[in-house]
Structure 1
Amino acid sequence: MDKEWMSSNQLTKEYLNGVKEFIKFALEHTNDHTSIVCPCVKCCLMKRSYKCWHKHGETRDASRGYSKSYLSHDFDTSTYEVNEEDQLEEMARVIEEELKDCPEMLERLKSNAEKPFYSGYTEFTLLSGVLSLYNLKASSSWSDKSFSELLALLKVMLPKVNELPINTYQAKQMLLAIDNGKSPEKALWYFPIVPRFRRLYSSKEDAKNLTWHADERIKDGKLQHPANSLQWGRIDHEYPEFGQEARNLRLALCTDGMNPHGLQSSTYSTWPVILIIYNLPPWLCMKRKYMMLSMLILGPKQPENDIDMYLAPLVEDFKLLWEIGVEVYDGYREEKFNLRALLFGTINDFPAYGNLSGYSIKGKLGCPICEENTYSIRLEHGMKNAYMGHRRWLHPSHNYRQLKKCFNGNSEERGPPLMLIGNQLFEKVKDLYIEFGKPFSKHLGTSRWK
């Protein structure tokens, strides 16, 4: 059958008609018309690149638009017959497109893709072999040290003249394909949020759930949903045009760093940036289906205060959604409307909070809310600052305010510090000289804002 539709945009009529024809074709060739057996039993990992259905009888020459890439390789070993070839071909097409303006780097890749491990060996090329070994390292959770030891052992076991890297560092450099052996400081993946909001609202069920906070929430004065909070009501009061449209989105941004290799010796940092949709009912807000991964910041070190630069594409989309909005089709009401959105809050630990807010959270004045009124003590033996004084947020008549021995030996008579509004905060940071990168330059004045 004609498979040109598979390369079309999934939102087009051409793609939709192609899917319908495929389902019709599948039903006509099955004895059981109540269900269709998945054709990907042998190729479950080739969802993006399996356009030539050679695992199901189709010949490569018969596949339309199929071309053999310089990274492809026919594997006779059953371990690799599932998806290695098509993955390499798909990777080749992507890399060739991205490196079209870097002929030297592309030539280096081609050379490694054609070069054998050693003279006379044809099972693996240098690139495909190193890639297979590195995939095994990742799937088996090997540390960099153990992988280096394996490469050193294989280097000795192979014929004397061979091209295998001698350690993890050299293997990474080969896969990074960076000229002069320099790896990038950071890699950024941004997944635009506007198309996914459009797709979310195109679903009848999801579009209905996105107005649950206005249509079905029980308003009994209890704090059961972010819509019951003072902040939600304040936004409705200060921006009535935004608040009157229940379909406008209120989002929370979550981010934190993690090492995808666990607690091993590998030095690597991954920062996912995830959006939570607070319009949804409480039992759906934190479901995986609705947690929207908007960005991945990858690299050997944490982004720290440079996270401002990496968040720039997301910030631009937020500006668009707040100031202008985008046209979206509501599948539940079967109408188009102008969707707007705002950042309702953030969810993160204290160090990430410091990076996102731009405030120095270390030292005796480490609270961005209290600032110079932060109450802290220096632990004599632990050599760290402990932040006390939380009783000031309690009700003036609360019993804990008078419990001296249970806390720091004093009663607490102070009230909570006043929250800064936008204009007051801007006055603190408007004259700061910002210089990204390492090492950080000293900040002007004594302000703790970066």
Structure 2
Amino acid sequence: MEFFKFALENNSEGRDKLPCPCYICHNLMYHKADVILNHLSKRQFDRTYTCWHRHVEKREEISSKDAQGHNTDEGNELEDMTSQFVHRVDDDLNVTEEMLSDSEKPLYEGCKYTKLSASLKLYSLKEGHSWTDKSFTTLLEFLIDVLPSDNVFPKNTYRAKKNIMYNGFKLMYSDPVDVEKLTWHKFGLKKDGLLRHPADSPQWRFINGQFPEFGSEERNLHLGLSTDGNDIDVYLAPLIDDLKLLWEEGVEVFDANRNEMFNLRAMLFCTIQDYPAYGNLSSYYVKGEGGCPICEDGWKGKWLSASRKTVYYDHRPFIPLDHKYYAYRKECVDSLIGTLLNISGKTKDGVNARLDLKEMNMRNELNAVETGKRDYFPLAAYTLSKKEKVELCASLAGV
């Protein structure tokens, strides 16, 4: 057999076991030569394995694409991700059963794609073309509807991510070099008082102190969640279930650096989001009178009846007045210029603002003057004439 001869001739490392290219093993399982021969005599050769790169043949660009530029070697992407992991665990079926389930299960009867390879292919298209999660879910729903009824396509974006994620956790530890990077905070951290890594933070030390069993295993993961809050309710509930599983039970993972299995646990260490999403993630009310999660009842906002919004006094109360961050933001400068030039839609000096000042008993000289026929608002001290506005603009242009 041409393939078998090629594989043996290129086994320069003299490995006892090689990846088996039968359609069931799919180059994910490693066997001795006689076992591979037995498999190939009973089973078909994996038809997606057109370039024998698992057995040292050089993969040319033309070999994986047809004349139209379409990918004809879909199995390679999945194999690239999983070969190291499976090679190290060899015949331990308990270890690879979960991963192989998705990588062997056809998307539907007779389909060349598996559940995992289809998820990887579609998700790479999503990322490459900047599809939103919502549009991707809509596409998945359509594909599920048009494909045969026995298809096992993930139902939404979250399920597709989850399908890839659990295999990804295992693959993170399949490379000894990557494992060393994942444990750098334990063995490579410089303790010089500087904050260059989350492990330098008081929060990291506090968590490890509160949960010493978790902190003593340096391979456990401290995860970060970043979200803009869009459609967060769709994903938050199942995400919490997954985080609970990773925290309470963990998943069995093979450590290629130490050549051993261990129970990997993970925790949500920090989140990055805007203020509204912070409320969704923490279940804290970030609107209304008590909108500050730090001050809580110690810092009350005030409702403005005319403007119909809550405002908060004493911005940045924890920063000294001479601090470099205690400065005007762009939005503040825009509002200031808009008010000075009386730009419609930009000025903060309008009817509602004057009515709110009256309600708060502030700047009474700016209250409306009743003349009997028509009320009018007095000009404020900062009101500029047309000539003064031109001079201000010229001055700003010259800065």
What TM-score does the superposition give when structure 2 sets the normalisation length? 0.46
Higher helix share: 2
When Rg is computed on C-alpha atoms for both structures, the one with the higher figure is 2
The structure with higher relative contact order (CA 8 Å, sep 6+) is 1
TM-score (norm 1): 0.42
